[in-house]
Structure 1
């Protein structure tokens, strides 16, 4: 559901594909530094989540795998859509 909200609001399939520090994205977020920092934290949390997989319980590893696999698929779909529209 969260990914759907991002897609609707920010025209992207994943919060990880945007650079939340850029001016363009800052404008979309109303130049609210608190919100921008929170979105930047998503990338940080995903980094640590991935880096500490060896310390997770089996259920957590499965959950992590599902999240990361889904993010990879969404990123590929985002790139394809951007290429079709001539954005990249």
Structure 2
């Protein structure tokens, strides 16, 4: 993730870079948070991690199906880092286009 964000920083001025960094820090999702909310899906409400990552449709589907009978939740436990990276990459690209 840091390599990807570093590439986006390469052609920014100092002011743009500081603005980008402050907005990115506030909007990025920590992979550990995604993991914890995914684990909570086994005990409380499945799909909270999908809602956290702005995947509203999948989040609602997970809520109504119990995490696709827990199989989807187990798969997400394995892929939580990739899910967080994809979300953070999209956020970084969106912020970069505004800065």
Task: Specify the TM-score bucket, using the shorter chain as the normaliser.
Answer: 0.3 to 0.5
RCO greater where, 1 or 2, for CA within 8 Å and sep 6 or more?
Answer: 2
Q: Is the radius of gyration larger for structure 1 or structure 2?
A: 2
Give the structure with the larger helix fraction.
2
The alignment's TM-score, normalised by the length of structure 2, stands at 0.30
The alignment's TM-score, normalised by the length of structure 1, stands at 0.32
